[in-house]
Amino acid sequence: MSPKPDIVVCNPNASSSPGKAVFINFEIMDSATFESTGKPYTIAMTHSDAVRLFSLLEAMSKKYDWPQAGVPEQIFVPPEKEQN
């Protein structure tokens, strides 16, 4: 029997800075219709936990032959002292 989720989300994105937690942002979905509600939801975790999560997802992707999502968008944010 599959576990019932506490929350259903879509449109994941992740961000972090050196020495900071990893922030994973989602939009909450209506669990009955699987449509996005547009309401944002953010979780934070340590870098080591994020690496473990991404490794688990990569292994599952290979095991179940999930389609590849392509190259994720990357945004460079310069250090504060270099910002205008």
Q: What is the pLDDT of residue 84?
A: 59
List the domain boundaries for the chain: 1-64
- Residue 82 backbone phi and psi in degrees, to 5: -100, -5
Residue 71: pLDDT band (50, 70, 90) is: low
Answer whether residue 13 shows pLDDT above 70: yes
CA distances from 82 to 2, 37, 76, 78, 79 (A): 49, 37, 12, 6, 5
pLDDT over 90 for what percent of the chain? 61
Half-sphere exposure of 42 (CA within 13 A, CB side): 7
- pLDDT exceeds cutoff 80 at 21: yes
The model's pTM: 0.70
pLDDT at 30: 93
Query: What pLDDT does residue 43 have?
Result: 95
Single out the residue of 62, 60, 64, 48 nearest to residue 16, CA to CA: 48
